[in-house]
Amino acid sequence: MSFTIHDLVPCQTPMSSTLKALEVGYRHIDSAQFYANEAEVGEALRASGIPRDQVFVTTKILTPAGSIESTYDKVLASVEKIGGPGGYVDLFLIHSPKSGPAGRKHLWQVLERLHEEGRAKSIGVSNFGVGHIEEMKSYAKVWPPHVNQLELHPWCQQRTITAYCKRHNIVVEAYSPIVRNYKANDETLVEVAKRYNKTTQQVLLRYSLQKGWIPLPKSDNPERIASNANIFDFNLSEYDVELLDSLDQGDAGAIVEYVVNE
């Protein structure tokens, strides 16, 4: 399971939240250029004392920076903020498909170069639909992308793209897996949580894992960060997974982005 850091409350810093996450056992940290916290993530990694090869770090680029070389310089700067000079990130993603066909090609070719040089161990995409990934076949040397990061939870299951990713062995990461707590009082979710004596957040994270997704919860509360990691001592029954599956609302259930698959 991963820990995502963005939109923290003023009393919390990316460094303090990352350190807390590492302290309670998280070993996957999700960052992005857009979140403006890559340097703090790097500082936290070094301050934690945990060997670098024991923590999986993701970052993302949203749009090209002009020329190929300028974009390469931009992604390399991200790598060095996190990993230091000569360092690396474990996963670098294109944050969104919204830069258009030419922009997506530009970004992917830059990430392929980073991957070839060993500065990004894996490369992938976020919010990409089936059409976006199929389009990549026309220019990609690395295909399929290693990862697709999507909004996923019971109310937004994105079944077309998740099934496609499964067929092509693309790892699926789930952002907003606890729906920003908007559904904490949902009757079905509360009913399931009571059966396991777990919080609704823990049930949603367990659901992600059992669906084969890697959940990316976000919190700025130290107690909640620890609680969200406590999901490995129970399994949801097939009945309860199907019950949560029945909550799907398609694009109406998205709170951030429902991908376009054409």
Domains and CATH numbers, the chain: 3-253 (3.20.20.100)
Strand partners, 64: none
* Distance of alpha carbon 110 from alpha carbon 117, whole angstroms: 11
- Average pLDDT per block of 10 residues along the chain, 262 residues long: 54 78 89 94 94 96 96 98 96 98 98 98 98 98 98 98 98 96 97 98 98 90 83 97 98 93 78
> What was the pLDDT predicted at 11?
42
Tokens of 149: 């990061």
pTM: 0.93
* Distance of alpha carbon 12 from alpha carbon 169, whole angstroms: 37
> What was the pLDDT predicted at 12?
57
- CA distances to 48, 172, 217, 250, 253 from 153, rounded to whole Å, are 31, 12, 11, 11, 9
Tens digit of pLDDT for each residue in 127-150? 999 999 999 999 999 999 999 999
Place of tokens 């944050």: 95
Is position 207 annotated as part of the catalytic site? Answer: no
Half-sphere exposure of 165 (CA within 13 A, CB side): 28
| Residue 95 among known ligand-binding residues | yes
> What was the pLDDT predicted at 1?
57
> What was the pLDDT predicted at 25?
86
> What was the pLDDT predicted at 156?
98
Catalytic position from the list 35, 175, 207, 258: 35
Q: Is the four-CA dihedral 89, 94, 96, 99 of positive or negative sign?
A: positive
Q: Tell me, rounded to whole angstroms, the distance of Cα 169 from its chain centroid.
A: 17
> What was the pLDDT predicted at 231?
93
